[in-house]
Structure 1
Amino acid sequence: MLHRMILNETFWFGSGAVSQLVSEITQRNFKKALLVTDKVLVQAGVIEKVTALLDKHQLAWQLFDEVMPNPTISLVQRGVGAFKAAQADYLIAIGGGSPQDTAKAIGIIINNPEFEDVRSLEGVAATRNPCVPIIAIPTTAGTAAEVTINYVITDEEKRRKFVCVDPHAIPKVSLIDADMMKSMPPALKAATGIDALTHAIEGYTTRGAWELSDALHLKAIQIISRSLRASVAGDAKGVEDMALGQYIAGMGFSNVGLGLVHGMAHPLGAFYNVPHGVANAIILPHVMAWNAPFTGEKYRDIARAMGVPRVCPMTLDEARAAAVEAVRKLGADVGIPLRLRDVGMKEEDIPALAQAAFDDVCTGGNPREASLEEITALYRQIY
């Protein structure tokens, strides 16, 4: 069987990695950047760490700070207009998954204008040209959008999220700098951290998994489970370890796919603007428990990677239950809400949510095939 791996051309990791920005720009002879980010990061002064470097070295840039959580079609189209108006030749995406995804969509459309409607990018679009070069600078330790070929856009008119899978969209350069993540509030660290754990667990159990991706995902589970509590508590080493763990998870799942947790989380963002990490975090242990009989020995590996003691002598059912409980305990320890009603989900919307989840591209990778009725029942269980 053939397997494909696509990763960044270059990535820098570690405290102070942003200092490599100037050399990466100049050696590629880039002329002017459009900075894609959000107003919260601008107001918090996070963006200044980047713009100060650009200004010091007289590198031209223009700001596009209209990004909101769960980026929409209209946002992407405004970003395309901003890129053209700025006469930029590359993008710097600063932020969590939303700025990264927005930059990917902008970059793809600039070099593939036949997809300017945005909707036609859904799934595996037949783009012909690599996107405008992107330098990705994440400010959250969770989405790994800086290393993935995926991006997610919200269609407000149809109240749905759609996933785009395109090797042409991967950033050229990623700068994974824990110093850019220190200002994250604890709740955001928790949600994005469990999002990263979801990537690792779903990537490990997805139908497309293989030995190389398994190695990445198990290591990511190990790093995330030992570091997330410390990161949420404000420990600098915990933040840096989470930055690494989420990136390793992204290296894996970008190349093999995910599962039903993501399939069920995406509609919650489209319907209620629930942050993606929060939605994943609530759903993860429930879908894990439902998937358990279809995962072979993999939950034993997950339990071991999460530090559960004396896993080897356990029966398979005990090991599976231990893995699910370890995930539940980690979520509880970092303050994840327990139920979907706690984040605004409406019971009367469950049939529509279930249909959207059933149709989601991520759902097809789930180790257990899910019917519309079973997804509906899961939503009711988690409500």
Structure 2
Amino acid sequence: MVMQLVAPRLMLMGGGSVAKLAEVLAQLGLSRPLVVTDPFMVSSGMVERALSPLRAAGLSFAVFSDTVPDPTDTVIEAGVAVLKSGSYDCLVGFGGGSPMDTAKAMAILAAAPPGTHIRAFKVPAAANTGAVPVICVPTTAGTGSEATRFTVITDTTSDEKMLIAGLGALPLAAVVDHELTFSLPARITADTGIDSLTHALEAFVSKRANAVSDDYARSAMRLIAPNLRRVWADPADATAREAMMRGATLAGLAFSNASVALVHGMSRPVGAHFHVPHGLSNAMLLPAVTAFGLEEGRARYAEAARVMGVATEQEGDQSAAQRLVEELRALNHDLQVPTPAGWGIDADKWNGLLPTMAQQALASGSPGNNPRVPDADQIVALYREAYGR
């Protein structure tokens, strides 16, 4: 079996590694970065963790901080204008998934002919070219964007969260420093943590999984499952924070090489239409979607349960798979994950958008990777189940 595998050329991991950002750029022959981040990273001073080593090394850099929680086509266009206005030789995405995804999309769009809209690159198109390399520095243990060939951008004309995939979205390097996550609020810690668990689980059950993506996924689940509740309960638990950060990156490598499945396909429209943070919308859907695929994917889900430590090695597949669903429901309860109803989404608006969301989910292609592939009516039913009362 021939497997195609992609990963960043260089990955620096460990506490304090962000201090070596300038050294990473030097290794790659880069010296004029445009740092892409968000307003909070600037106002809180967190971005100085990346800028200080650049300044100390005497590098010429600038900051683009007009990113938004769900990156939009308009923000990408504004970022490309800034990129083209200077002589930058790389982009540094510093922050959560949004700044990193913004930097990736900026590189892709900047390489396209003038007047091109970013929607030209949504799947099934292949976005294999970037104008400049991207270096990612994640500040959450969740999206795994620092290790993936994907970016997700909202089309403001249709409120569609577009999946964009290709080598142009693959970072050249990543600096993964768990010490950047110590100050995360509990809600973000929980949502990004479940996001990373979803990445690992979906990569593992994906129809596009391979032996190497399985290795990444298993390692990620072993790290994330026992540590997610620990970082929720004690944000200063350095050992758990490090495990979560490493797990999130490994989960990113897993789904970058195996793709995600139905949870992500359904999650993107929820985020686009109701502005629910991506990790939270994944968490809202994960138990119901896992239960939906249990029959067809039982052996895989059972193995995942054993890897996560929620089922024993001696337990049969049917029991182990059911334990996985029970654990995902318990995790949502323990981490206080609200339902869409509990989050405040109006029932009439939710129900009115279900046909549109189902079609957008299917159009992303991700549901086709699920062990059990749904039709539009089944997706609508799952949305209704997840909504809550």
Give the TM-score normalised by structure 2.
Answer: 0.94
Does the alignment pair 1:319 with 2:323?
A: no
Aligned counterparts of 2:353 and 2:292: Cα–Cα separation in 1: 22
Aligned counterparts of 1:380 and 1:224: Cα–Cα separation in 2: 29
Aligned counterparts of 2:357 and 2:334: Cα–Cα separation in 1: 28
Between the two proteins, what is the percent identity of the paired residues? 35
User: 5+ unaligned residues in a row in structure 2: which ranges?
Assistant: none
Q: Is the 1:115–1:121 Cα contact (8 Å) retained in structure 2?
A: no
Aligned equivalent of 1:121 = 121
Q: Is the 1:136–1:174 Cα contact (8 Å) retained in structure 2?
A: yes
Instruction: Within 5 Å, give how 1:276-355 maps onto structure 2.
Output: 276-314=278-316, 316-340=317-341, 342-344=343-345, 346-355=350-359
Instruction: Within 5 Å, give how 1:131-280 maps onto structure 2.
Output: 131-232=131-232, 233-234=234-235, 235-280=237-282
Shift of 1:135: 1.3
Aligned counterparts of 1:107 and 1:25: Cα–Cα separation in 2: 17
Q: Secondary structure at the match of 1:287?
A: helix
Letter in 2 for 1:371: D
Q: Is the 2:143–2:192 Cα contact (8 Å) retained in structure 1?
A: yes
Shift of 1:318: 1.6
Q: Secondary structure at the match of 2:8?
A: coil
Aligned counterparts of 2:8 and 2:330: Cα–Cα separation in 1: 34
Cα distance change of structure 1 residues 128 and 292 upon mapping to structure 2, 3 Å threshold: closer
User: 5+ unaligned residues in a row in structure 1: which ranges?
Assistant: none
Cα distance change of structure 1 residues 340 and 224 upon mapping to structure 2, 3 Å threshold: farther
Shift of 1:127: 4.8
Does the alignment pair 1:110 with 2:110?
A: yes
Cα distance change of structure 1 residues 61 and 168 upon mapping to structure 2, 3 Å threshold: same
More displaced, 318-327 or 9-18?
Answer: 318-327
Aligned counterparts of 1:312 and 1:31: Cα–Cα separation in 2: 55
Instruction: Within 5 Å, give how 1:92-103 maps onto structure 2.
Output: 92-103=92-103
Letter in 2 for 1:374: Q
Aligned counterparts of 1:214 and 1:128: Cα–Cα separation in 2: 24
- Deviation string 1:299-320 (CA, Å, 9 cap, x unpaired) is 2211112212535234x32221
More displaced, 245-254 or 343-352?
Answer: 343-352
Shift of 1:113: 3.1
Cα distance change of structure 1 residues 128 and 368 upon mapping to structure 2, 3 Å threshold: closer
Aligned counterparts of 2:285 and 2:344: Cα–Cα separation in 1: 12
Q: Secondary structure at the match of 2:243?
A: helix
Q: Is the 1:196–1:246 Cα contact (8 Å) retained in structure 2?
A: yes
Letter in 2 for 1:364: G
Match of 1:359 among 359, 363, 367: 363
Cα distance change of structure 1 residues 376 and 59 upon mapping to structure 2, 3 Å threshold: same
- Deviation string 1:112-166 (CA, Å, 9 cap, x unpaired) is 3367311101114355644411111000101000100011010111111110111
Q: Secondary structure at the match of 2:184?
A: coil
Q: Is the 2:127–2:165 Cα contact (8 Å) retained in structure 1?
A: no
- Deviation string 1:87-113 (CA, Å, 9 cap, x unpaired) is 211111001111111100111122333
Q: Secondary structure at the match of 2:179?
A: helix
Letter in 2 for 1:60: S
- Deviation string 1:303-342 (CA, Å, 9 cap, x unpaired) is 112212535234x322211011112212222221134552
Match of 1:380 among 377, 384, 387: 384
Shift of 1:280: 0.2
Shift of 1:368: 0.7
Q: Is the 1:108–1:131 Cα contact (8 Å) retained in structure 2?
A: yes
Cα distance change of structure 1 residues 20 and 70 upon mapping to structure 2, 3 Å threshold: same
Aligned counterparts of 2:369 and 2:129: Cα–Cα separation in 1: 27
Q: Is the 1:62–1:86 Cα contact (8 Å) retained in structure 2?
A: no
Q: Is the 2:110–2:130 Cα contact (8 Å) retained in structure 1?
A: no
- Deviation string 1:171-205 (CA, Å, 9 cap, x unpaired) is 11100001111121110010000000000111000
Aligned equivalent of 2:88 = 88
Give the TM-score normalised by structure 1.
Answer: 0.96
Shift of 1:344: 2.0
Aligned equivalent of 1:369 = 373
More displaced, 146-155 or 111-120?
Answer: 111-120
Letter in 1 for 2:260: L
Q: Is the 1:306–1:326 Cα contact (8 Å) retained in structure 2?
A: no
Runs of 4+ in 1 over 6 A off after TM superposition: none
Q: Is the 1:156–1:270 Cα contact (8 Å) retained in structure 2?
A: no
Letter in 1 for 2:290: M
Letter in 1 for 2:331: L
More displaced, 176-185 or 75-84?
Answer: 176-185
Aligned counterparts of 2:305 and 2:115: Cα–Cα separation in 1: 44
Cα distance change of structure 1 residues 115 and 340 upon mapping to structure 2, 3 Å threshold: farther
Shift of 1:356: 1.4
Q: Secondary structure at the match of 2:104?
A: helix
Q: Secondary structure at the match of 1:60?
A: coil
